[in-house]
Amino acid sequence: MNKSTKVMTRFVFIVVFLLLLFLLPRVFSLGNDISNSDALRWHRRAGNFLSALKEENFEQTYQRYHPGVTVMWVGATSELALSEYQQIKGEEVGTLENTGFFPRLHGLSKLFLVLVLAFTFVLQLYLIRELFGWKTAVAFGFLISLEPYFIGINRWFHLSSMEAFFSITSLLLLLLFLRKKKLYYLLLSGFFAGLGLLTKMTVFISVAFSILLIIYNIYVKRSGFKTFFVYVISVAVTFFLFFPALWVDPLSVFTSMYNAIFNAVFSDIRGEIFTLPQKIFYYPIILAFKLSPVMIFAGIYSLLKTFKEKNRDTLVIAIYFVFLILFLTLTDQKIDRYSVALFPSLILLVSVAFSKLRWVWLGVLMLLQTVTFIWATGIFYPVYSAYLNPLFGQAFVLKAGFYENSGEYYSNAAMYLNEKGRNISTHVPNNIESFKPYYKGKLTLNVEDADYVVYGLDFDRKIFPEIDRCEIEHYFGNRLYRPMAVYACKRAGI
């Protein structure tokens, strides 16, 4: 076995190890852990998407402005697979309203989504090795696999993870094309950018950055516009091929998306609630709250080192990171999970910076990340999205107005109330979509008619309120904080 073969064999072994490291925290206890606040909506949309495909009513595959097409493809695939399995087994085919069926479908859908992320993750390792060396690839794979909050969002049935993975993969492919001039890298870059846009329109920020990078290289190297046209065509073809609604009525789809996106991005309630400092510094602050402590300090060090050294490819990643923060800041939508789009580029910068140091420093970084992950697992598993940086804590984050509950622990409250039977009536004033799929009893819009009230804290709900004729019976949360309460109530007149 020659030297190059040994190196490749070693790298393959390392990739397999990193893939397992990536998958293990992301595949266990799926389904019953959390239904994030938008998950049930995306399951409904995926079901409608599947029905539209079966009926060849392609216009109806447009469900939402995001547009979330990739998530609907994943959801439709899992729904079809589970339906076929139930028919083969002779089981009754379940629906979303069935509390026994929902966790199975939800878990399978999230598993399929994680597998898509895992495939993209392996591709990223290859690209990073080609661009920055295998040491950087190993560091990146290890660090991002064990980043607690990132794990949590990867376990959601939602858009944010695929948005982040597709965007950074597209940029890495573009950088590799600019270095090696192999056309298939450019085509794949456009392909992943197209998948990103099919996931979420905020990927336009990443696409715009890539186009600016292409134009800059055309200007500096006096090359033709072929690169620009191939990239744009690759993006457009991907977007068109996987979005059936565009096959029949593209004008209507684009008009609806434009109007809805404008209202969603620039008319969000958070734009009215948050103060100007909160708006301007929202995403850097959220990164401080959601990153592991070691990644915060390593990230600051790596950003400073990157801008000082001015290595071309690394500098592009750093500028991309800043570019994302600036454009996310311009929108009214200030939601903690949107910060996930920033994680891959920052962790890559850390990986590059520390891979240039002696092995001992990279080893210390990995050890600290491992300790953080083990600690976070002991506190938050399986709801890693509830992670908060221990340097700050939930009380501080809540008081500052940055705490967000996106469905964490509503399933726990539902399963607790299920033990009390089906004849109870429950009032859920917020995040009912995260509670309802697991709950077997009755729901009521009026607290006066409720036997129980389920209440969760959030950025605009900082304390548990006093509720007439109701007292808190049980709290739910993790070992550090409990943001969910179940009130037992006496009905009026009883």
- Which distant-in-sequence residues (6+ apart) come within 8 Å of 481 by Cβ? 388, 393, 394, 395
Average pLDDT value for residue range 283-291: 96
**Residue-level pLDDT at 302:** 96
Residue 277, preceding bond cis, omega within 30 degrees? no
10 Å CB burial of residue 453 (0-12, 13-18, 19+) is buried
Residue 51 pLDDT exceeds 70: yes
How high is the pLDDT of residue 269? 58
Q: How many CB atoms lie within 10 A of CB 58?
A: 16
Cβ–Cβ < 8 Å for 228, 218: yes
What does the block give as tokens for 442? 């009755």
For the chain, the straight-line distance linking the first and the last C-alpha, in angstroms and rounded, comes to 83
Percent of the chain with pLDDT over 90: 79
Q: Tell me the pLDDT of the chain averaged across its residues.
A: 92
pLDDT of 222 strictly over 70: no
Band (pLDDT 50/70/90 cuts) for residue 331 is: confident
* Tokens read off for 321: 């990171």
Residue pair 35/433 in contact by the 8 Å Cβ criterion: yes
pTM for this model (two decimals): 0.94
> What is the arithmetic mean of pLDDT over 412-434?
95
Q: What are 140's two structure tokens?
A: 């990146």
Residue 310 CB burial class (10 angstroms; 0-12, 13-18, ≥19): exposed
pLDDT at residue 365 in the model: 97
**Which one, of 283, 320, 326, 123, lies nearest residue 206 by Cα?**
320
Task: With beta carbons less than 8 A apart as the criterion, state whether 291 and 147 touch.
Answer: yes
C-alpha 382/C-alpha 394 separation (Å) is 18
Q: pLDDT tens for residues 252-265?
A: 888 887 776 665 55
Lowest mean pLDDT among 89-93, 313-317, 376-380, 454-458: 89-93
**pLDDT at residue 266 above 60?**
no
- Which of 85-99, 275-289, 393-407 has the lowest average pLDDT? 85-99
CB 227 within 8 A of CB 186: yes
How high is the pLDDT of residue 265? 56
Q: Write the CA distances from 109 to 73, 164, 218, 233, 288, integer angstroms.
A: 10, 18, 42, 31, 30
> Does the pLDDT of residue 338 top 80, yes or no?
yes
List, for residues 140-154, the tens digit of each pLDDT value: 999 999 999 999 999
d(CA 440, CA 263): 36
Structure token pair of residue 180: 């090696």
Tens of pLDDT, residues 339-392: 999 999 999 999 999 999 998 999 999 999 999 999 999 999 999 999 999 999
Contact 178, 217 (CB under 8 A): yes
- The pair of three-digit structure tokens given for residue 271, joined into one six-digit string: 């734009």
Q: In what order do the strands lie in the sheet with 452-456?
A: 442-443, 425-427, 452-456, 484-489, 470-476
